[in-house]
């Protein structure tokens, strides 16, 4: 109860100065993570014991589902179609390369970590975070092509990472449990079912909402409630059919626009408030976890965390965007702004919830925490200066394909 009191007071305090902080390098995730760290350092041990891992996981899942749906609902289908090749490069080529490079780096950098354990860690840290990258994908100073490509990538790569994670976990557990693993099966269940669930809920829900709106049956207040019910349905249905709730939520956000073009406006009105509060609560709890884990960090973990945010992310992006017509400032910008945050927290908690109990479990947990912490700080502090630098290097995009000026 005391933790809840502290968090609510923090939300009130942050809201009072939010406009002053907007435009600075001090982001919400930085503030709430720092607050969680401060609470854990100052409070008695039992104060930080008032939440469980399962509650942390459910909060993170719900926050991410709302964020993905909201981002997708405000992504215009026409603009998405116009940049379809960029997300395809980042997801279909860049993500597997990131997992492969991350696996090799972890196996070489972290002593005692087996190859499958290294692959599990790489899969956990492969997805980017739409929340931490929100400054980028909403900035008018960033070309629409770049914003939409990064937004779609962040919306889908967490769901695409889940089959890799589950596959590696199943293979690692096979000698212990005698189970067989099939990456194809995981892909069908997580991705195929996720697209099917999201598409069905988005299309059906959008048609119903659109019909009710045109006939004047629906009030504005409950229009928001109706739209927000769709990602909640995605979460609940996906859990029943072993689908990726994250893929389902993002696909539903895209499909709902077919029948109800005001979905983005209504979901944004709700998601900007409650989605943000859920996400900030996760970062607050994450700050408490950081304090509990800080004494176990070592130089090898720090080296891998830095590599994960730089070469493991940036090299695959640079390779898959070669020949796309984008200049080197754009490729470097898109490579750097692939923050690790909410999605990696969720996948890390999913791994711990499965209780595979591998020898390297503690290392996987600590490196995930350290990498996310560094990403919150480095990507948060560099977002606005990075946008300004990118604008100077790439030049004005008017009259040209955005981001393609400098080679």
pLDDT tens digits, 89-120: 998 899 999 999 999 999 999 988 999 999 99
Residue 406 included in any domain: no
Decide: 65 and 245 in contact? Cβ < 8 Å. yes
- The DSSP secondary-structure symbol of 62 reads H
pLDDT at site 402:
44
Query: What pLDDT is recorded for position 95?
Result: 92
Does 267 map to a domain?
A: yes
Give 35-51 pLDDT, tens digit per residue.
Answer: 999 988 887 555 555 45
Assess contact for 68 and 156: CB atoms under 8 A: no
Condensed to tens digits (0 to 9), the pLDDT of residues 134-184 reads 778 778 888 888 888 888 888 778 777 877 888 888 888 765 554 555 666
Residue 130 is classified by DSSP as: T
| Neighbour-count burial of 20, counting CB atoms closer than 10 A to its CB (0-12 exposed, 13-18 middle, 19+ buried) | exposed
For the segment 58-70, the average pLDDT, to the nearest whole number, is: 80
Position 181 scores a pLDDT of 55
Q: Is residue 55, in this structure, part of any structural domain at all?
A: yes
Find the length of the chain.
Answer: 407
Contact 143, 402 (CB under 8 A): yes
Residue 399 falls inside a structural domain: no
| pLDDT greater than 90 at residue 358 | no
Buried/exposed code over 349-370 (b: 16+ C-beta within 10 A; e: otherwise): bbbbeeebebebeebbbbbbbb
**What angle (nearest 5°) sits at the alpha carbon of residue 376, between those of residues 370 and 377?**
90
Q: Tens digit of pLDDT for each residue in 65-80?
A: 887 787 777 766 665 6
Say how many domains are in the chain: 1
Query: What is the mean pLDDT of the segment spanning 331-357?
Result: 86
Domain assignment present for 407: no
pLDDT at residue 137 in the model: 75
Query: Could you give the CA distance from residue 386 to residue 134 in angstroms, rounded to a whole number?
Result: 14
Q: What pLDDT, on the 0 to 100 scale, is given for residue 260?
A: 83
Asked whether 85 and 304 are in contact (CB, 8 A), the reply is: no
189 within some domain: yes
CATH number of domain containing 195: 1.20.1530.20
For helices 115-124 and 95-109, give the axis angle rounded to 10 degrees.
Answer: 130
- Among 322, 325, 339, 397, CA closest to 143: 397
pLDDT over 50 (residue 230) = yes
Asked whether the predicted pLDDT for residue 9 surpasses 60, the reply is yes
Q: Which residue has the tokens 């006939």?
A: 215
Confidence band for 56, pLDDT divided at 50, 70 and 90: confident
**Dist. CA 106–CA 129, nearest whole Å:** 21
Answer positive or negative: Cα dihedral of 35, 41, 42, 45. Answer: positive
Cα gap 247→190, rounded to integer Å? 8
Could you give the CA distance from residue 198 to residue 251 in angstroms, rounded to a whole number?
Answer: 5
Burial of residue 25, with CB atoms counted within 10 A of its CB: 0-12 exposed, 13-18 middle, 19 or more buried: middle
The model's confidence at residue 401, banded by pLDDT at 50, 70 and 90, is very low
- Domain span holding position 166: 2-394
**Residues 48, 63: Cα–Cα separation, whole Å:** 21
3-state helix, strand, coil in the chain (%, to 5): 80, 0, 20
Helix residue ranges, H only, 294-327: 299-309, 311-320
Q: How far is CA 218 from CA 70, 206, 211, 225, 308, in A?
A: 20, 13, 9, 10, 48
406 has a pLDDT exceeding 50? no
- Looking at every residue in the chain, the average pLDDT score rounds to 83
209 within domain boundaries: yes
């Amino acid at each position: 109860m005391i933790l809840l009191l502290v968090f609510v007071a923090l939300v009130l305090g942050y809201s009072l100065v939010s406009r002053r902080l907007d435009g600075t390098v001090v982001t919400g995730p930085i503030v709430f993570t720092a607050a969680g760290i401060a609470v854990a350092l100052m409070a008695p041990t039992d104060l930080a014991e008032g939440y469980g891992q399962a509650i942390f996981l459910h909060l993170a899942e719900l926050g991410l589902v709302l964020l993905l749906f909201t981002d997708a609902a405000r992504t215009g289908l026409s603009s998405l179609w116009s940049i379809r090749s960029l997300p395809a490069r980042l997801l279909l080529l860049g993500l597997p390369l990131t997992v492969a490079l991350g696996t090799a780096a972890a196996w070489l950098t972290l002593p005692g970590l087996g190859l499958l354990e290294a692959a599990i860690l790489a899969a956990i840290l492969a997805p980017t975070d739409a929340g931490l990258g929100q400054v980028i994908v909403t900035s008018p100073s960033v070309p629409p092509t770049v914003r939409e490509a990064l937004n779609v990538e962040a919306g889908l790569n967490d769901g695409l990472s889940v089959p890799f994670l589950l596959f590696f976990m199943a293979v690692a557990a096979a000698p212990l449990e005698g189970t067989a693993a099939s990456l194809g099966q995981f892909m069908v269940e997580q991705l195929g079912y996720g697209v099917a669930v999201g598409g069905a809920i988005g299309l059906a829900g959008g048609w119903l909402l659109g019909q009710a709106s045109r006939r004047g049956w629906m009030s504005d207040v409950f229009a928001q409630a109706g739209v927000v019910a769709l990602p909640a349905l995605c979460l609940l249905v996906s859990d029943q059919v072993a689908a990726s709730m994250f893929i389902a939520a993002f696909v539903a956000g895209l499909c709902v626009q077919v029948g109800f073009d005001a979905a983005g406006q209504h979901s944004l009105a709700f998601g900007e408030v409650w989605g943000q509060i859920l996400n900030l609560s996760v970062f607050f709890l994450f700050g408490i976890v950081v304090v509990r884990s800080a004494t176990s960090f070592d130089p090898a973990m720090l080296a891998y965390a830095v590599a994960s945010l730089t070469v493991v992310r940036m090299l695959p992006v640079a390779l898959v965007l070669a020949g796309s017509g984008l200049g080197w400032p754009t490729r470097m910008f898109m490579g750097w702004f692939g923050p690790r945050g909410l999605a990696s927290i969720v996948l890390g908690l999913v791994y711990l919830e499965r209780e595979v109990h591998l020898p390297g479990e503690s290392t996987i947990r600590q490196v995930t925490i350290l990498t996310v912490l560094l990403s919150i700080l480095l990507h948060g502090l560099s977002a606005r200066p990075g946008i300004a630098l990118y604008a100077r290097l790439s030049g004005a995009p008017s009259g040209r394909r955005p981001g393609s000026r400098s080679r």
